[in-house]
């Protein structure tokens, strides 16, 4: 069967390469715009920009990996067959959970684009060769909920939960925080679910009529649908999601009240970051991609490709042992964050609560800081073999 690769290998040449530094072979497992209805361009664009700038320091390839477990496994096996030194991939925590046995058995270092709590180093689906780029999802969900309760002063909170690990982990964490604030009069007003491909959320939106605020743990496309249908059904209250909010705003999917009601939590906002490094990244990205505005995921993958090249240079080797040692011990100051692995093998420990104007322009409202190596509670997950969505329960540590 022919392999369909998203982008080609890196340009050759020695300009700028560190003396005697080995070339690190990187494969990105993620879709780009147009490859499915859920695909976004940011992972591929950020990685390609970094690879272009690094030149002969890296050999870079992308293989599309859709949300389907079978398709994601096929993409993973294709990557393993090419014997890369590092894989960056899987935007959905459910993908990493379902494929953990194959990832672990391969021994190839994986930088996960998703941050499901189950996949931390000591989690039920963690592995010595799996590192998480982003803050852990349940830590983020707890802080989102605290923001809604303590900053927005909401009492009656609506919950919208996408039917996979993102929604399960997020809503379970939120319900624990809400329950802890019950004496203050805080409660779940209504709870609804939706699929990752939902295109009509009228019932869910109407169910939120009367809530003080809505916590939404969703995928980008249905999040945009929910934002617009809330307004269409007269529900004009704060609508707080995670990183899907910035993706939908950048895509122009939310405008007017749907945008100003919306808040999100992004790992960073490169366009609202004042460092020289961030300004150069945004300028280079826009120049390469016809003025497109980069979001956190573009800058994170850009950072990880650069980090990988730095690991190869410092370790002087690209064997799994050398790359894993570098991932565990080296620090990388990137566009999006200062990355340093903690005991859970999580690299980033900050995020930003963000807001949007009526045109969907994103700015930082508040920064969140997470203690390295700590989780709010334990999530125990069993994954059916035939579906992306895990069945999950929670219990106190």
pLDDT higher at 11 or 308: 308
Average pLDDT, the chain: 90
pTM of the model: 0.88
pLDDT at position 67 is 86
Whether 13 is covered by a domain: the verdict is no
| Band of pLDDT at residue 225, cut at 50, 70 and 90 | very high
| pLDDT above 60: residue 9 | no
Please write the tens of the pLDDT for every residue from 86-107: 999 999 999 999 999 999 999 9
| Residue 231 sits in the same domain as residue 319 | no
| Band of pLDDT at residue 378, cut at 50, 70 and 90 | low
Domain-terminating residue out of 330, 348, 366: 348
| Band of pLDDT at residue 4, cut at 50, 70 and 90 | very low
Q: How many domains does the chain have?
A: 2
Torsional sign, CA 98, 99, 105, 108 = negative
User: How do strand 262-266 and strand 350-356 relate by DSSP bridges?
Assistant: antiparallel
| Residue 244 sits in the same domain as residue 363 | yes
Whether 148 is covered by a domain: the verdict is yes
Tokens at residue 47, please?
């990685």
- Contact of 62 with 7, CB cutoff 8 Å: yes
Please write the tens of the pLDDT for every residue from 95-148: 999 999 999 999 999 999 999 999 999 999 999 999 999 999 999 999 999 999
pLDDT at position 395 is 36
Instruction: Give the H or E element holding residue 300.
Output: helix 296-315
Q: Which domain holds residue 341?
A: 24-135+271-348
| Residue 99 sits in the same domain as residue 188 | no
* Beta carbons within 8 Å of 208's beta carbon, 6+ residues apart: 158, 160, 189, 190, 192, 214, 230, 235, 237
pLDDT at position 63 is 98
| Residue 202 sits in the same domain as residue 70 | no
| Residue 186 sits in the same domain as residue 311 | no
Torsional sign, CA 170, 176, 177, 181 = positive
3-state secondary structure of 278: helix
């Amino acid at each position: 069967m022919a392999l369909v690769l998203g982008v080609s290998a890196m340009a050759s040449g020695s300009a700028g390469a560190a003396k005697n530094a080995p070339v690190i072979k990187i494969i990105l497992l993620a879709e780009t715009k147009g490859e499915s209805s859920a695909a976004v361009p940011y992972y591929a664009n950020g990685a390609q920009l970094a690879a272009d700038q690094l030149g002969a320091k890296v050999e870079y390839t992308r293989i599309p990996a859709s949300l389907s477990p079978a398709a994601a496994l096929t993409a993973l096996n294709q990557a393993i067959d090419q014997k890369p030194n590092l894989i960056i991939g899987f935007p959905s925590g459910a993908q990493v959970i379902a494929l953990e046995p194959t990832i672990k058995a391969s021994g190839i270092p994986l930088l996960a684009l998703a941050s499901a709590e189950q996949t931390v180093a000591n989690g039920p689906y963690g592995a010595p060769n799996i590192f998480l780029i982003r803050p852990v999802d349940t830590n983020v969900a707890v802080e989102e909920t605290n923001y809604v309760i303590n900053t927005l002063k909401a009492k009656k909170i609506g919950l919208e939960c996408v039917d996979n690990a993102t929604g399960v982990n997020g809503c379970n964490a939120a319900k624990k925080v809400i329950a802890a604030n019950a004496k203050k009069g805080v409660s779940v007003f209504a709870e609804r679910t939706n699929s990752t491909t939902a295109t009509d959320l009228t019932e869910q939106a109407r169910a939120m009529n009367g809530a003080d605020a809505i916590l939404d743990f969703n995928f980008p496309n249905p999040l945009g649908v929910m934002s617009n249908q809330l307004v269409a059904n007269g529900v004009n209250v704060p609508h707080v999601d995670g990183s899907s909010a910035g993706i939908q705003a950048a895509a122009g999917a939310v405008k007017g009240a749907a945008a100003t009601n919306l808040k999100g939590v992004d790992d960073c906002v490169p366009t609202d970051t004042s460092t020289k490094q961030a300004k150069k990244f945004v300028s280079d990205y826009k120049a390469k991609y016809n003025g497109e505005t980069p979001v956190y995921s573009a800058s994170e993958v850009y950072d990880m490709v650069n980090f990988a090249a730095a690991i190869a240079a410092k370790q002087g080797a690209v064997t799994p042992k050398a790359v894993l040692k570098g991932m565990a011990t080296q620090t990388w100051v990137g566009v999006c964050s200062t990355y340093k692995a903690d005991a859970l093998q999580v690299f980033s420990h900050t995020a930003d609560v963000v807001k949007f104007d009526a045109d969907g322009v994103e700015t930082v409202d508040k920064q969140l800081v997470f203690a390295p190596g700590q989780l709010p509670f334990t999530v125990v997950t069993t994954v059916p073999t035939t579906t992306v969505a895990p069945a999950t329960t929670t219990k106190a540590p």
